[in-house]
Amino acid sequence: MPQRNSRDLQRHGDSGTSHQFQSIRNLTDIKKSVQTAKSLMYKTSENGDNPYLGLLEYRNIPVDGLAAPAQLLMNRQLQSILPHTTNHLQREVVPEKEFLNSHAERQQQQKSHYDR
């Protein structure tokens, strides 16, 4: 991404859009996600397995009391190679308030552990 000078940003602001800076923490989270995906793909291909099935299973794993990433995105679990019942694939909407409350609670726990 090219460097922007103040004249470019001013012209950008005149077009009716806004410029939002990205925090370093978000970039760290993105790097960690990419590292996890690369590691998972490397391990599965090293064993001779299909790396995309590994990513599929990773998306179906619930995250610390929250729903699985696939369930949050598509309101259902994805069909995988692991045995499961047909009820498991039914749509199940995760209530937004419940998700936000559990997510905020999890962040508070992480903050309290970090601030010790």
pLDDT tens digits, 30-50: 888 889 889 988 998 898 988
What is the share, in percent, of the chain residues with pLDDT greater than 90?
A: 3
Query: 8 in a domain, yes or no?
Result: no
Residue scoring higher pLDDT (51 or 82) = 51
d(CA 91, CA 100): 20
| Chain mean pLDDT for the chain | 78
Whether the Cβ atoms of residue 40 and residue 54 lie closer than 8 Å to each other: yes
Query: 45 in a domain, yes or no?
Result: yes
Number of domains in the chain: 1
Query: 43 in a domain, yes or no?
Result: yes
Whether the Cβ atoms of residue 57 and residue 80 lie closer than 8 Å to each other: yes
d(CA 109, CA 86): 35
For residue 47, what is the DSSP state? Answer: T
Query: 15 in a domain, yes or no?
Result: no
Enumerate helices (H) and strands (E) in the chain, giving the number of each. Answer: 5, 0
Query: 6 in a domain, yes or no?
Result: no
User: Which residues span the domain enclosing 54?
Assistant: 22-114
pLDDT of residue 93: 73
